[in-house]
Amino acid sequence: MNNLPKMIFSMKFFGTNHIKLINGIECLKARPIKEFVNKSFKEKKLKILHAPVNVCNQPWHISRIERQKGHTSDIIVNYQPSYGLEADIVVSQYQQYGPRDIIQRLYHVIRSLVKYDVFHFYFGKTLFVWDDYFGPRNWLWYWDLRLAKLLGKKIIMTLQGCDVRTAAETEIKYKHSACHEDRCPQYTNCITQNDGQRRWLREKIFPKIDHFFFLNPDLGRYLDPTKSSFLPYASVPISQIKIREPKITGKIKILHAPSVPTLKGTPQIIEVLEQLSARYDIELILVQNTPYADAIKLYEDADLVIDQINIGWYGAFSVEVMAMGKPVACFLREEDYKFLPQEFAKTLPLYNLNPNKLLESVESIIQDRKNWIKRGKRSREFVEKWHEPLKLQEIIFEKYSK
């Protein structure tokens, strides 16, 4: 009996539940240590690194929410992100090989290993992937990930498309995809060089990752389902975007905004709209190389948005215009829905275009114009439920703590 107080103290340290009295003595049931550790991890203020690239501001929005919740959360990129995307630290300039640049990169690799609890990497890269210095790969690549694993750090990776998707396999598997010579400018590089790197990455590096998030459903076929999950885009602050309902009378303003026209099927889309202009009063708004502030005004003025007819999924651009309450049309590859949450797939509000019958698909949407406002409302509700960064940060944080 002399040891009873000490025993109870030890059990309380790990967390206990009172269950019943036996012969007047209170019995205690200890929670599993793993439960205690997970609970402590969730309550702890973490130090989180997002690196080494910022694609579509996905890491930026997640990181800012983590900071609001009291965590240390930084975005460190090896070189300046494109299109004015944000980062807390830009280590050096693209392809600058000077001694100072190399020392800076080494310093941030070492510093990150000491400072951070969680490493959230993007686009199949880490801070020690210096793809602008030495390519396609050398023995130094991913050594920071290996060391982080040895140090017991949590390692998460968000995959966004061409970081893991192999062009040769995709071209064979899917009749309609961006991985074709006449569609993607990088096709030849992918076939001759990048595909090999992606296969090596899946075989050698992926087993060291604790959990994957993938933003395009077709990527699920490359990943272990026990440690991967689909994640909707968190790249748009939904609550900050004002609703701009489409007009259902008068001239039909159809907007298309291709970054790479052949990738999104722009020539075919333009051809179809020209044919339909003979029967409908259509104005095509083509947004290319336009400053963001000007592009937003064009988005707001559109009645219908056509995203793409080759890729098989929608992107961050579609999320932004859906948040405005616009109906959006694009090609969605339904065979990839098996990688999505069932409720998500069932409530998708986008019009699904058939690339084989594009004219008929677009015309049927035009004929449904009376329902565009309802479709736009569904779109707004959908992105509020599934694409709000605050909600997605909570999903991500659950994986940090497991």
For Cα atoms 177, 179, 185, give the angle at the middle one, nearest 5 degrees.
125
Residue 112: count other Cβ atoms within 10 Å of its Cβ: 23
Residue 281: count other Cβ atoms within 10 Å of its Cβ: 9
Residue 353 is assigned to a structural domain of this protein: yes
Looking at residue 347, what is its pLDDT? 98
Q: Which residue has the tokens 């064009």?
A: 298
Residue 286 is assigned to a structural domain of this protein: yes
283 plus 218 within the same structural domain: no
> In sequence order, which residues have a C-beta less than 8 Å from that of residue 290 and are 6 or more positions away?
298
How high is the mean pLDDT in each 10-residue block of the chain (402 residues)? 37 34 37 48 84 94 97 95 82 89 95 98 95 79 96 97 94 90 92 92 96 98 97 95 97 96 96 98 95 94 97 96 98 97 98 97 98 98 98 97 84
Answer yes or no: are the C-beta atoms of 252 and 303 closer than 8 Å.
yes
Q: Which residue has the tokens 């899917």?
A: 174
CATH for 212: 3.40.50
57 plus 192 within the same structural domain: yes
**Which region holds residue 24: left if phi is over 0, alpha if psi is between -120 and 50, else beta?**
left
Through-space distance between the first and last CA atoms of the chain, rounded to whole angstroms? 38
Looking at residue 81, what is its pLDDT? 72
308 plus 379 within the same structural domain: yes
The rounded distance, in Å, linking the Cα atoms of 264 and 348 is 20
The token duo for 72 is 């240390």
129 plus 104 within the same structural domain: yes
User: What's the structural domain count of the chain?
Assistant: 3
The rounded distance, in Å, linking the Cα atoms of 335 and 27 is 54
Residue 36 is assigned to a structural domain of this protein: no
Residue 178: count other Cβ atoms within 10 Å of its Cβ: 24
Looking at residue 297, what is its pLDDT? 96
Beta bridge partners, 90, equal 77
The rounded distance, in Å, linking the Cα atoms of 56 and 51 is 13
99 plus 158 within the same structural domain: yes
The token duo for 107 is 């310093």
Beta bridge partners, 351, equal 329
The length of the chain in residues reads 402
User: If you write DSSP's letter for every residue of 141-165 in order, what string do you get?
Assistant: TTHHHHHHHHTT-EEEEEE-STTT-
Answer yes or no: are the C-beta atoms of 378 and 349 closer than 8 Å.
yes
Q: Closest Cα partner for 129 from 152, 151, 105?
A: 105
CATH for 334: 3.40.50.2000
> In sequence order, which residues have a C-beta less than 8 Å from that of residue 50 and are 6 or more positions away?
59, 62, 63, 73, 74, 75, 76, 120, 122
**Which structural domain, as residue segments, surrounds residue 333?**
238-386
Q: Residue 9: what residue type?
A: F
297 plus 369 within the same structural domain: yes
Looking at residue 402, what is its pLDDT? 81
206 plus 350 within the same structural domain: no
Q: Closest Cα partner for 345 from 359, 334, 360?
A: 334
Distances from the Cα of 201 to the Cαs of 3, 142, 194, 205, 272, in angstroms? 54, 10, 10, 5, 40
Radius of gyration of the chain (CA): 25
The rounded distance, in Å, linking the Cα atoms of 80 and 62 is 19
Looking at residue 17, what is its pLDDT? 38
175 plus 295 within the same structural domain: no
Whole-prediction pTM value? Answer: 0.86
Answer yes or no: are the C-beta atoms of 89 and 77 closer than 8 Å.
yes
The CB-side HSE value for 267 (13 A sphere, CA atoms) comes to: 4
The token duo for 88 is 């807390």
349 plus 286 within the same structural domain: yes
> In sequence order, which residues have a C-beta less than 8 Å from that of residue 329 and are 6 or more positions away?
304, 305, 306, 307, 350, 351, 352, 353, 361, 362, 365
8 plus 60 within the same structural domain: no
Q: Closest Cα partner for 79 from 56, 95, 99, 100?
A: 95
The token duo for 80 is 């300046």
Q: Which residue has the tokens 């009749």?
A: 175
196 plus 153 within the same structural domain: yes
124 plus 112 within the same structural domain: yes
